[in-house]
Amino acid sequence: MQLTGAQALVRSLEQQGVEVVFGLPGGTILPTYDPLLSSSVRHILVRHEQGAGHAAEGYAWATGRTGVCIATSGPGATNLVTALADAYMDSVPIVAITGQVSSAMVGTDAFQEADITGITLPITKHNELVTDADRIPAAIAEAFHIASTGRPGPVLVDIPKDLQQAQMTWSWPPAMALPGYQVPGDPDPAAIAAAAALLHAARRPVLYVGGGVIKSSAHDELLRLAELAQAPVTTTLMARGAFPDTHPLALGMPGMHGCYTAVAALQEADLVVAIGARFDDRVTGRLADFAPRAKVVHVDIDPAEIGKNRVPDVPVVGDARAVLRGLADCLSALISEAGPPDTAGWLGVTDSWKRRFPLRYAQAADGPLKPQYVVERLSMLTGGDAVVVSGVGQHQMHAAQHFSFTKPRTWINSGGLGTMGFAVPAAMGAQAGRPGELVVAIDGDGCFQMTAQELATCAIERLPIKVLIFNNGFLGMVRQWQELFYEERYSSVELGTTIPDYVKLAEAYGCVGLRCDRADEVDAVLDKALAVTGVPTVVDFRVHDREGVFPMVPAGRPNDEIVLGPEFSADEQRAATRRELSAR
């Protein structure tokens, strides 16, 4: 059958099972927008291509399926760059399709020409400039295969306009030609046996769980392993929700703004089992001082992560789900032979730390509103039954710390790249992927203003997200660093709380706008926001501008130097630093 390249592209997306794409048309992608009009694929017209990129990411985070964004050449394509870099850092499966100037014009500095495959080379898992219309189905099939398998990531396919218009011979499925791409197979049983033996013998084990566990849907296997091993579990910023925060073995988040118990447990552990985590600097603090007493088992699907930052005692290359299942089976056999692991003393220690050094903040009844309080109320009022999306900064840390996550794919944020402005468009994508479910963006006022234009898209496309702005009038995390490390010299960090008027802005975008600045009104305002149907809702929470994020390990310092924060006494800080290993 003869089709145009554009028809073949759209039909390839249909064959891949794509239900929704996010995009914005322009000159060189116009041929593709014509068959898209009569396709079963839903196209959501964004207001800025960056929004399309983050929406594709939010969709992928929320559903586990590959997100798709479309843009024209030149500025359309370059506007996707931040989202591609973000997806690369956080291993999010998205496919970006860009128009390119016609083949004969490539390289001539034609109108709206940009070398987008060159530009995105270091921030994509793979990219391709298609040079033959007959290759379009194969290029799309390969892009989806590469994006979604192994360690997931973004793939960009750049298609010149003349190839979209050219006639080609359609056939599906196309033959994929990827001789250099192999997804790791079954994990090595010997490595799993060695890891299980270490876990059985450990007295102070910690499971250090990263985003890979969510990506491989390994949460049930993780729960089984943790309970068999009686090992406490810490979930990184990428893995919140992989293990229920309500479980007695849960330690919360590790790292720079992690819970004291999670940070301290890693420092004292005799065995760290890292699963789908990459020993990121925000988790390890000064690398040389991280988990100094621990043997390390490192499970990852990407062989290049193993040994990159910390050399493990037992490396296991493989899919987290298969490895966790194998580990649990092996450990179960060891337990039947030799009894359960002896970790009772260790759990007594971690429980005493949890009691003595919890997350702490002070919300006075008539004092300034604390962001942590809003997160806790949201968590309570929704029963944790919400998809929470955040931007980057203080509000992100407060949300990650204080929301009680119990299920995977209920927490979406920008971890590795730290992209301000991620929340609104990512929430839009999450809502498109999970219609009918509650999607709440917790955003800062600085972040919100970077991508707020997508509220128009949400309103018109009936994507009723809730956006809770934690409005402190500052780039709060920057302000906190200037306070702590730059002698309170607040350079270019104040945004002001009243411009724009977020309630009016929300209304201008066809959304419901609400405001709250008192703790005793939080529940009523949240109830009101949660009751809105059909249109997006924006709540301007006027929160305390001096509130910091604690605990905190100063950047580049050892995790042993964790600072509990102003709500703890000097005696408590000393006790925390000493880290008594007897349960109290």
Cβ atoms of 434 and 465 within 8 Å: the answer is no
Our answer to whether residue 477 is catalytic in this structure is: yes
Tokens 């007897």 belong to 582
In the complex, the smallest distance separating the C-beta of residue 149 from other proteins, rounded to whole angstroms, is: 11
Among 42, 308, 355, 546, binds other proteins (CB under 8 A): 308
Among 2, 37, 180, 578, binds other proteins (CB under 8 A): 180
User: How many residues bind to other proteins according to rule CB under 8 A?
Assistant: 19
Our answer to whether residue 354 is catalytic in this structure is: no
Per-position x/- string for 109-128, each x denoting binding to other proteins as judged by CB under 8 A, each - no binding: --------xx--xx--xx-x
Tokens encoding 71: 């843009």
Among 45, 104, 178, 524, binds other proteins (CB under 8 A): 178
Our answer to whether residue 405 is catalytic in this structure is: no
Residue 103 binds other proteins (CB under 8 A)? no
552: left (phi over 0), alpha (psi -120 to 50) or beta: beta
The one segment of 133-141, 172-180, 195-203, 487-495 that binds other proteins by CB under 8 A: 172-180
Identify which of 408, 88, 478 has the alpha carbon closest to the alpha carbon of residue 216: 408
Q: Which listed residue (125, 161, 295, 466) is catalytic?
A: 161
Residue 179 binds other proteins (CB under 8 A)? yes
Residue 189 binds other proteins (CB under 8 A)? no
Our answer to whether residue 2 is catalytic in this structure is: no
In the complex, the smallest distance separating the C-beta of residue 60 from other proteins, rounded to whole angstroms, is: 19
* 3-class DSSP assignment, residue 313: coil
Tokens 């956080």 belong to 90
In the complex, the smallest distance separating the C-beta of residue 181 from other proteins, rounded to whole angstroms, is: 5
Query: SS3 sequence, 402-451?
Result: HCCCCCCCCEECCCCCCCCCCHHHHHHHHHHHCCCCCEEEEEEHHHHHHH
Biggest alpha carbon distance in the chain?
78
Phi, psi dihedral angles at 342 (to 5 degrees) = -100, 85
Question: Which residues lie across from 154 on neighbouring strands?
Answer: 94
In the complex, the smallest distance separating the C-beta of residue 163 from other proteins, rounded to whole angstroms, is: 14
Residue 395 binds other proteins (CB under 8 A)? no
Q: How far apart are the first and last CA of the chain?
A: 75
Nearer to other proteins, 117 or 350 (CB): 117
CA separation for the pair 535, 516 (Å, rounded): 19
Helices (H), 260-343: 260-268, 281-284, 320-338
In the complex, the smallest distance separating the C-beta of residue 303 from other proteins, rounded to whole angstroms, is: 5
* 3-class DSSP assignment, residue 316: strand
Residue 146 binds other proteins (CB under 8 A)? yes
Among 304, 364, 365, 499, binds other proteins (CB under 8 A): 304
Pairing of strands 205-209, 271-275: parallel
The one segment of 3-11, 159-167, 179-187, 254-262 that binds other proteins by CB under 8 A: 179-187
The one segment of 209-217, 299-307, 424-432, 542-550 that binds other proteins by CB under 8 A: 299-307
Q: What angle do CA 258, 261, 263 make, to 5 degrees?
A: 50
The one segment of 173-181, 351-359, 485-493, 499-507 that binds other proteins by CB under 8 A: 173-181
Query: Which residues here bind other proteins, judged by CB under 8 A?
Result: 117-118, 121-122, 125-126, 128-129, 131, 146, 178-181, 302-304, 307-308
Catalytic residues: 49, 111-112, 161, 477
